Amino acid sequence: MQPIVLKTEACRWDSVSLGEVMLRLDPGEGRVHTARQFTAWEGGGEYNVARGLRRCFGLKTAIITALAENPVGRLVEDFILQGGVDTSLVRWAKYDGVGRTVRNGLNFTERGYGVRAAVGCSDRGHTAISQVAKGDFNWQEIFGSQNGSKWFHTGGIFAALSETTPGVADEAMDAAKAAGTVISYDLNYRDSLWKAIGGKAKAQEVNRELVRKVDLLLGNEEDFSAMLGITLEGVTEDFDELPIASYEKMLRDVAAAYPNLKMVATTLRTAHTASRNAWGAIALYQDEIVHVPQRDVDILDRVGGGDSFASGLIYGFLAGKPVDWAVRCGVAHGALAMTTPGDTSMATYAEVERVMKGGSARIAR
């Protein structure tokens, strides 16, 4: 495996993400199907990485997406702006008045508690970003010398949105690679997105091609199986026990199948209850295993924990840190992100450093 090497020339952005940004409607401690009020947030698997890099780690990031031009789209934009992520690459689609042809996505998600698992229900058909096609974004301008980005992140959620989005991701990766930009991809399998368009067979057809252009591949054990057909051996259906030797073999199998990969990483999660998980990570980099053992963490809202792991890991590389530091940073950032509501991280860099050092939750004042 070759090392991850960042481009040295000046860039407008440290990282850019390609993906959908939805309006998340959160019933708080209640249930979606009995709620009388919701708290609104923004979120999206690829976007959450850009926002974490900006808000927690202070880097310059942008989101490449599309929104319908209406008040809901502008609300999503307002959330993005509050997170400090550059919106200059957002593509605005003309709204038809009722959403027959284009709309903005809604994501209803309840957090779960104890024996009640978290539940998500998305309403994202015909969204503006699902309708983008090759040629809709000027990738040479985005990644070229007039702008440029050191890192590019996208994933399997974006690739599942429509028949055209894999082509957009492919086009973006080609331009990023030509510009010397590092490419990361989070497999992020979602059965709800793939089941109506060919299921796991289609997911594997699409993702096996895209992964051939990736430098850093992220996912969990279900993602590698569903998206690439590479299974994890020696685990039970509920993942109560996570044998590290089996995870190491899986990562090496992925690297062997895709020799272009420079790093493969996966989180380690055992859900004792919805509000208490064991959390860690394991990665393969330059043929060496980096393992952050699981520790129990209390969870308020688990959504976005994997995305925050990704942004912490990516930050480590962008900051020039050793690989073991980067993986530990990802684990700490993911753990902190799951202590607050919403998809996106509210953690500070100082908090991440404290957790990495094993600091306690004693009050700071």
Q: Give the residue among 166, 160, 169 at the shortest CA–CA distance from 137.
A: 169
pLDDT exceeds cutoff 60 at 189: yes
d(CA 356, CA 56): 14
- Start-to-end CA span in the chain (Å): 46
CB 106 within 8 A of CB 123: yes
pLDDT in tens, 315-327: 999 999 999 999 9
Least confident segment among 43-57, 87-101, 132-146, 228-242: 228-242
CB 106 within 8 A of CB 22: yes
d(CA 254, CA 262): 11
Per-residue confidence (pLDDT) for residue 363, from 0 to 100? 46
Q: Does an H or E element contain 202, and which?
A: helix 199-211
Q: Can you read off the two tokens belonging to residue 152? A: 């590019």
d(CA 123, CA 121): 7
CB 215 within 8 A of CB 261: yes
pLDDT in tens, 175-188: 999 999 999 999 99
pLDDT in tens, 278-310: 999 999 999 999 999 999 999 999 999 999 999
Query: Span 67-93, mean pLDDT?
Result: 98
Backbone φ, ψ for residue 29 (5° rounding): -80, -5
| Full-model pTM | 0.95
Burial zone of 269 (CB within 10 Å; 0-12 exposed, 13-18 middle, 19+ buried): buried
Coil, strand, or helix at residue 160? Answer: coil
- Per the DSSP assignment, residues forming a β-bridge with 269 are 279
Per-residue confidence (pLDDT) for residue 233, from 0 to 100? 84
d(CA 289, CA 221): 16
Per-residue confidence (pLDDT) for residue 199, from 0 to 100? 93
Q: What is the mean pLDDT of the chain?
A: 95
Per-residue confidence (pLDDT) for residue 239, from 0 to 100? 64
Q: 345: which residues sit within 8 A by CB, 6+ positions away?
A: 48, 51, 52, 55, 56, 304, 308, 311, 333, 336, 337
Per-residue confidence (pLDDT) for residue 234, from 0 to 100? 76
Q: 6: which residues sit within 8 A by CB, 6+ positions away?
A: 150, 151, 182, 317, 318
